Structure 1
Amino acid sequence: MQAVLYVCHGSRLAKACEEAIAFVEQCKMSTDFPIQEICFIELADPDIATGIEICVKKGATSIIVIPILLLAAGHVKQDIPEAIQKARQRYPFLQILLDEPFGIHEKMVSIIIERMMESAVSLHERAMILLVARGSSDPDTKSAMKTIAGMLQQKTNVSRVDVCFLAAAAPSLEDALQAAKQSSYQTIFVVPYLLFTGVLMKKIEQRLRSLTSSDQQWVLCGYLGYHPFLKELIKEKLQKYSQLTIGV
């Protein structure tokens, strides 16, 4: 029997986990796979091992693992594969297929633009955009964000789109904000490239509050959230698998 295991990041903040669960429940309604479960990489239960165990107990012989993650960094390249390898040793009969995170996609850029439009502040020639990503020591994360920034710049015709990171990569949020503050741009759109609210979002909010007294206009946009476009991307992924003969 075929199963889908949605792997979310997890958070200490209950609201963040609730957002993830609500999104997965919506995804479940878009496909007819008989077994569909959710698990978390860290900071919430069930973990990946337990998620796989639940699927097996429900009769799964094949599991499609869908990372509900933005980019392919350490979690996708190390943590999830390690959990899958352990599961394969525990359940030799079980076929497990790991899909990709959302990655670089036009729909991700469209979400950014929508979040900026929600601010009700118009783009103009003296405006710039600062994308704030979680960050990773994996160089692919920095490369992907640079590509997304380029796509965003092309779609908006804004003369400057910068990227910064909250951890493990440069430039840091602090350095990027200082650079923007010293620039000639009148309006700075700060867009958190995050799926959910939490400690990192609060960090951005706190830092921006100290800049509101300057002559520049600082516009903090909403985080990406579990936008309907993401549900469409998940549906596309699962349709691809439904056309295959998976499992026994």
Structure 2
Amino acid sequence: MGENILVIHGMRRGYQNEALQRFIYRLMKESGINFHITFLESDINHLYNMISSLVKQGVHEFNIVPLLLFSAKHYLQDIPTILQHLKNNYPYIEYQVTQPLGTHYHIVNIINERIKNALYVSPSISKIVFIAHGSERYKQPNEQLKQVINNCNVANKPINMVMLYGDYSYKKRLPEILAEGGEILVVPVFLYDGFLVHKMKSEIQYMRNNSCIEFTKSLNFHPLLELIIKDQITQLEARNHVPDTTQFS
């Protein structure tokens, strides 16, 4: 069994990493799994430093669990680059990487819950807008968010998607949606309500004109995230125990 490494983006300065650690420990305290929290942005608990330290303690197998929603730069470039650097320095280590959190079916359940609660409070909402981080370079986040939208079935209302970055830029697309009128529910598909989400909400409020806009909360370390993480680790471990039938052919 590999050592479980939870990877989150984080920040080099300020207290955000400490706050994120508290949220994750609180989320996973009843999970029954051992894990280490690492960051892509950190002077201390950086992914490379954490694994290097564990290797020196005799650990050679790792389950890498990116706490990222979609496949963009951090998932497709940053983490693989760090892992390859580790492999170059420690050729005997083995690692597996789980899929992004947003590809798991429980993410849809969390979002459906957010929408259902919002519609209960504001039944006059006429359309829904999903907003995620997006990417200037990679198209996968667009396709993965579309899949999430296709699987959301809690409301019989039109759903649009916009992104902070990339082809679906909210600064270009949202004014067109707002111009259609009606009460709009904006659903931030982010791990937590951090700086980017608060900045985005402020900018959308400025764009609203006469439109009525409501916001749901982000995922905010919903308890179902614990099940998602456990399920992803279980799938990795199961893959390790699949017998190699080629030796019998």
- TM-score between the two structures when normalised by the length of structure 2: 0.84
8 Å Cα contact 2:27-2:221 kept in structure 1:
no
The AA in structure 2 aligned to 1:162 is N
State the aligned residue count.
238
The AA in structure 1 aligned to 2:122 is S
Q: Which residue of 2 aligns with 1:224?
A: 219
Q: Are 1:189 and 2:185 an aligned pair?
A: yes
8 Å Cα contact 2:96-2:236 kept in structure 1:
no
User: Relative to 1, partners in 2 of residues 1:170 and 1:13: Cα closer, same or farther, differing over 3 Å?
Assistant: farther
SS in 2 for 1:239: helix
The AA in structure 2 aligned to 1:181 is L
List, as ranges, runs of 4+ consecutive aligned residues in structure 1 with deviation greater than 6 Å.
none
Deviations for 1:37-62, whole angstroms, at most 9, x for unmatched residues?
A: 11111256422111211322343121
Q: Which residue of 2 aligns with 1:27?
A: 28
The unaligned stretches of length 5 or more in structure 2 are 243-249
Q: Are 1:202 and 2:198 an aligned pair?
A: yes
User: Relative to 1, partners in 2 of residues 1:135 and 1:108: Cα closer, same or farther, differing over 3 Å?
Assistant: same
8 Å Cα contact 1:70-1:103 kept in structure 2:
yes
Name the % identity.
25
User: Relative to 1, partners in 2 of residues 1:17 and 1:144: Cα closer, same or farther, differing over 3 Å?
Assistant: farther
> Where do residues 1-248 of structure 1 align in structure 2 (5 Å cutoff)?
2-11=2-11, 14-15=15-16, 18-24=19-25, 26-27=27-28, 29-33=30-34, 36-42=35-41, 45-119=44-118, 120-124=120-124, 127-136=126-135, 137-152=137-152, 154-158=153-157, 160-167=158-165, 169-184=166-181, 186-211=182-207, 214=210, 216-243=211-238, 244=240
The unaligned stretches of length 5 or more in structure 1 are none
The AA in structure 1 aligned to 2:110 is I
Deviation at 1:19, TM superposition (A): 3.0
What is the root-mean-square deviation in Å for CA atoms of aligned residues? Answer: 2.5
- TM-score between the two structures when normalised by the length of structure 1: 0.84
